[in-house]
């Protein structure tokens, strides 16, 4: 992309005008279909990745350098050194062109090629030259016999070519780990116009070697001149700042020429001026322990804070260099470097948080769904940057999509939002059926009272069959004494009980048959008790459990009575529009079938009715056992949940968020006056104005409602 279009796109991106950026990029690509950089930027925008346009010049250079390194690595992986000999000259030329292109990018970014890249580049060029040499040899061989003079000339040329290539290789090897002696020797042996004719690369290689030697000489003369001033007394070591001392020390160590001689002269200078250095040490000690530069007061503006922190970082780095040089030069023991490094770590963490915050806004601005919005928020965390941490106070308040559907629903009739929310919890989440919005009335409490107090559900019942038509019932287990007699007494639970009934003794022989009827396990296994039924239990779930209760020793009529009580509790719902029967056609059909069975058998379904030995009661017992067997396998609440959502749930569409400045950032078009739901510290609220309310939390998601009629 040209510089003008880059400036335009960067201004729009920094202003978060992403739709304009997308449109401008699309138009530019249509006019310039070969511009890969523009296509990559459009791909990053569409996939929520940080755009290069929003980065600083230094960050763009670093990104370009990283891309170039990756391209070079891929090229070397695709065509390893052992594969180069199997490639044609055209393939080698294409690889060389691509390699030089990416190497040029690294050079523009100020990055020196590593030894690995340089070695691979030489191999490519050498292989191309070898193929060229073979071609010339084939032409000579195919030409037949030629004059001996021409053969001699060709032989000399080949020898000169090989010699030139050898000189070039020696020079490049000398430059890999350069020393003054090696480079000068290699350069002297390669300094020939004839060699440069047969190996054109020698010209650039020789120029590079000459430049390196000139740089070495310049560096040496600079240090030599400075040391001469110290040796003549024109300069004092104590006049230098610690950072200047450290710089001089480092330059001596880095000098490829006369390093040992320069180091010896520097030590002699320091030894001669040692007394002055010792006198200066006390002053330096106080200077060393001076307070660190104060951390800047952050504004909350990312751009301004980066400038402040960068300046603070540079001041700390300068102080650290001076401190290290002072400690090394004067042999002072100090904890100051650790304090500076700790301050630098804090500074780096703040800068990292701010840059992460900028990338976070780039990503979150591209969100088009609540799922991706929540994912980005939940994955993001800031360690120390307080303005960014304040933004994340929204995280514990983020509602689920189900919660938003409740808030954006449009209730019909006299259903309040609180009642709709309570019904959602009952049908979707299995919450208690009796809540503050749907309290248990005295009538409802009375419906289940017999279930809690009936002895037939509280005790195991023991039976004594006296004859085919007479059975006695007791809640006290019969006792067999040593004389083989059974002591038995009817309980009030017996339908034939009279006050005159007392203990009776029966001989334990085949005349009598003992048994038991246990309905007490039903309420226990179903977890139905007076203390929790109207506080914790979900009636549709209990109905499903009773319906699907496995067959066992319990009487079917005992199971039928509990089912009947729960049906009456469901039908007694305080709000008809939110009654569970309304949302479950299966439960409605089962209820009608159950009532019809009761009517057909003319059965008074009460606790203990299954204890009767009457023929009609026995027939009803079998009929209800068959009824449960036939209807088993349904889940009432799952059906209620589906039908409830179809009737009342509105689709909550994510349409943007409230940015850090309290302004709306919308990703969908909003009609004037349409309500939008937002998150405040007190919960989810809605507004119809053009501006977001002041109580909206920063980064609060915004939702619009797509309503469906029941």
Identify whether the C-beta of residue 668 lies closer than 8 Å to the C-beta of residue 655: yes
Q: CA triplet 558, 563, 568: central angle to 5 degrees?
A: 125
DSSP for residue 696 = B
Tokens 């040992």, residue located: 260
pLDDT given for residue 443 in this prediction: 86
pLDDT digits (tens, 9 = 90+) for 658-686: 988 888 888 888 877 778 888 988 888 88
pLDDT given for residue 145 in this prediction: 47
Report CA dihedral (251, 252, 253, 255) to the nearest 10 degrees: 80
pLDDT given for residue 340 in this prediction: 85
* Range of 35-39, 125-129, 423-427, 515-519 with top mean pLDDT: 423-427
pLDDT digits (tens, 9 = 90+) for 281-337: 666 667 777 788 788 888 778 788 888 888 888 888 888 887 777 777 666 677 788
Q: Tell me: pLDDT of 501 over 90.
A: no
Buried b or exposed e, range 511-540, using 16+ CB within 10 angstroms: ebeeeebbbbebbeebebeeeebbeebbbb
* Range of 232-246, 492-506, 620-634 with top mean pLDDT: 620-634
pLDDT given for residue 411 in this prediction: 45
Q: CA triplet 160, 161, 162: central angle to 5 degrees?
A: 90
pLDDT digits (tens, 9 = 90+) for 206-228: 888 888 888 888 888 888 888 88
- Average the pLDDT over 246-264 and give the result: 83
pLDDT given for residue 139 in this prediction: 45
pLDDT given for residue 100 in this prediction: 81
More confident residue, 191 or 570: 570
| Burial environment of residue 610 by CB neighbours within 10 A (0 to 12, 13 to 18, 19 or more) | buried
Angle, helices 148-176 vs 201-232, to 10°: value is 40
Beta strands in 574-663 (DSSP E): 651-658
Sheet of strand 513-517: strand arrangement: 471-474, 461-465, 513-517
pLDDT given for residue 43 in this prediction: 74
Dihedral pair phi/psi, residue 678, rounded to 5°: -135, 175
pLDDT given for residue 640 in this prediction: 92
Percent of the chain past pLDDT 70, that is, above it, reads 85
Q: Tell me: pLDDT of 136 over 60.
A: no
Report how far residue 446's alpha carbon sits from residue 71's, in angstroms, rounded to the nearest whole number: 80
Q: Tell me: pLDDT of 701 over 80.
A: yes
CB atoms within 10 A of CB 229: 12
Q: How confident is residue 625, by pLDDT bands cut at 50, 70 and 90?
A: very high
More confident residue, 242 or 64: 64
Which stretch of 205-219, 348-362, 366-380, 462-476 has the lowest confidence by average pLDDT?
462-476
Identify whether the C-beta of residue 219 lies closer than 8 Å to the C-beta of residue 252: no
pTM equals 0.40
Q: How confident is residue 144, by pLDDT bands cut at 50, 70 and 90?
A: very low
Identify whether the C-beta of residue 552 lies closer than 8 Å to the C-beta of residue 587: no
Tokens found for residue 94: 């294409």
pLDDT given for residue 631 in this prediction: 93
Element (H, E) at 173: helix 148-176
Element (H, E) at 485: strand 485-488
Q: Considering Cα of 620, then 621, then 625, then 631, what sign does the dihedral take?
A: positive
CB atoms within 10 A of CB 72: 23
- Average the pLDDT over 64-71 and give the result: 78
Q: Considering Cα of 91, then 95, then 101, then 104, what sign does the dihedral take?
A: negative
On average, the pLDDT of the chain sits at 80
pLDDT given for residue 562 in this prediction: 94
* Range of 144-158, 433-447, 491-505 with top mean pLDDT: 433-447
More confident residue, 42 or 616: 616
Report how far residue 576's alpha carbon sits from residue 604's, in angstroms, rounded to the nearest whole number: 27
Dihedral pair phi/psi, residue 515, rounded to 5°: -155, -175
**Which has the closest alpha carbon to 25: 48, 50, 53?**
53
Report how far residue 522's alpha carbon sits from residue 528's, in angstroms, rounded to the nearest whole number: 9
Which stretch of 112-126, 442-456, 564-578 has the lowest confidence by average pLDDT?
112-126
pLDDT given for residue 576 in this prediction: 79
Report how far residue 660's alpha carbon sits from residue 299's, in angstroms, rounded to the nearest whole number: 13
The DSSP result for 64-122, as a single string, is HHHHHHHHHHHHHHHS-HHHHTTS-HHHHHHHHHHHHHHHHHHHHTT-PPPHHHHHHHH
- Average the pLDDT over 338-366 and give the result: 85
Which stretch of 137-141, 411-415, 640-644 has the lowest confidence by average pLDDT?
137-141
More confident residue, 283 or 392: 392
Report how far residue 138's alpha carbon sits from residue 471's, in angstroms, rounded to the nearest whole number: 121
Q: Tell me: pLDDT of 582 over 80.
A: yes
């Amino acid at each position: 992309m040209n510089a003008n279009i880059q400036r335009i796109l960067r201004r729009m991106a920094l202003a978060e005008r992403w739709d304009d950026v997308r449109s401008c990029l699309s138009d530019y690509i249509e006019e310039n279909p070969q511009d890969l950089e523009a296509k990559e930027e459009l791909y990053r925008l569409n996939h929520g990745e940080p755009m290069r346009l929003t980065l600083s010049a230094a960050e763009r250079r670093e990104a370009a350098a990283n891309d170039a390194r990756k391209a070079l690595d891929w090229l070397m992986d695709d065509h390893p050194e052992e594969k180069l000999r199997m490639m044609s000259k055209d393939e080698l030329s294409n690889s060389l062109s691509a390699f030089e292109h990416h190497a040029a990018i690294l050079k523009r970014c100020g990055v020196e090629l590593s030894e690995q890249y340089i070695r691979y580049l030489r191999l490519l060029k050498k292989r191309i030259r070898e193929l060229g040499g073979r071609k010339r040899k084939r032409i000579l061989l195919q030409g037949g016999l030629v004059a001996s003079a021409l053969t001699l000339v060709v032989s000399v040329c080949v020898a000169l070519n090989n010699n030139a290539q050898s000189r070039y290789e020696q020079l490049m090897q000398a430059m890999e780990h350069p020393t003054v002696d090696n480079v000068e020797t290699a350069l002297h042996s390669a300094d020939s116009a004839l060699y440069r004719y047969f190996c054109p690369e020698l010209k650039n290689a020789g120029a590079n070697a000459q430049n390196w030697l000139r740089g070495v000489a310049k560096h040496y003369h600079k240090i030599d001149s400075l040391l001469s001033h110290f040796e003549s007394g024109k300069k004092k070591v104590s006049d230098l700042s610690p950072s200047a001392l450290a710089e001089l020390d480092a330059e001596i160590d880095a000098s490829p020429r006369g390093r040992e001689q320069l180091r010896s002269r520097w030590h002699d200078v320091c030894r001669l001026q040692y007394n002055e250095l010792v006198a200066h040490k006390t002053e330096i000690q106080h200077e060393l322990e001076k307070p660190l530069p104060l951390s800047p007061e952050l504004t909350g503006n990312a751009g301004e804070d980066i400038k402040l922190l960068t300046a603070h970082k540079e001041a700390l780095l300068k102080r650290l260099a001076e401190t290290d040089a002072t400690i090394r030069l004067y042999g002072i023991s100090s904890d100051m470097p650790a304090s500076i490094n700790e301050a630098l770590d804090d500074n780096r963490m703040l800068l990292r948080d701010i840059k992460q915050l900028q990338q976070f806004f780039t990503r979150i601005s591209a969100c088009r769904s609540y799922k991706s919005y929540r994912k980005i928020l939940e994955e993001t965390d800031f360690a120390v940057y307080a303005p960014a941490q304040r933004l994340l106070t929204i995280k514990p308040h983020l509602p689920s999509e189900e919660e938003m559907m409740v808030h954006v629903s449009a209730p019909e009739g006299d259903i309040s939002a609180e009642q709709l929310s309570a019904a959602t919890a009952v049908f979707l989440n299995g919450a208690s059926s009796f809540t503050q919005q749907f309290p248990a009335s005295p009538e409802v409490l009375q419906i289940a009272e017999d279930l809690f107090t009936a002895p037939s559900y509280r005790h195991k019942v023991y039976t004594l069959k006296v004859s085919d038509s007479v059975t006695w019932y007791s809640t006290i287990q019969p006792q067999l004494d040593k004389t083989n007699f059974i002591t038995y007494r009817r309980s009030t639970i017996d339908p034939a009980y009279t006050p005159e009934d007392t203990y009776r003794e029966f001989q334990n022989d085949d005349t009598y048959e003992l048994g038991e009827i246990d309905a007490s396990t039903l309420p226990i296994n179903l977890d139905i008790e007076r203390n929790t039924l109207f506080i914790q239990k979900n009636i549709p779930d209990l109905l499903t459990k009773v319906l699907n209760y496995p067959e066992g020793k319990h009487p079917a009529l005992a199971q039928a009575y509990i089912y009947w009580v729960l049906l009456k509790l469901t039908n007694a719902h305080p709000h008809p529009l939110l009654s569970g029967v309304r949302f479950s056609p299966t439960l409605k059909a089962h209820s009608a079938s159950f009532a019809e069975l009761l009517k057909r058998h003319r059965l008074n379904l009460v606790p203990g009715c299954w204890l009767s030995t009457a023929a009609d009661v026995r027939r009803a017992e079998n009929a209800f056992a068959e009824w449960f067997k036939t209807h088993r396998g349904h889940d009432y609440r799952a059906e209620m949940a589906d039908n409830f959502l179809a009737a009342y749930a509105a689709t909550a569409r994510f349409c943007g968020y409230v940015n850090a400045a309290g302004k709306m950032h919308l990703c969908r078009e909003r009609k004037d006056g349409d309500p939008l739901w937002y998150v405040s510290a007190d919960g989810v609220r809605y507004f119809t104005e053009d501006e977001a309310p002041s109580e909206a939390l920063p980064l609060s998601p915004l939702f619009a409602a797509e309503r469906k009629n029941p």
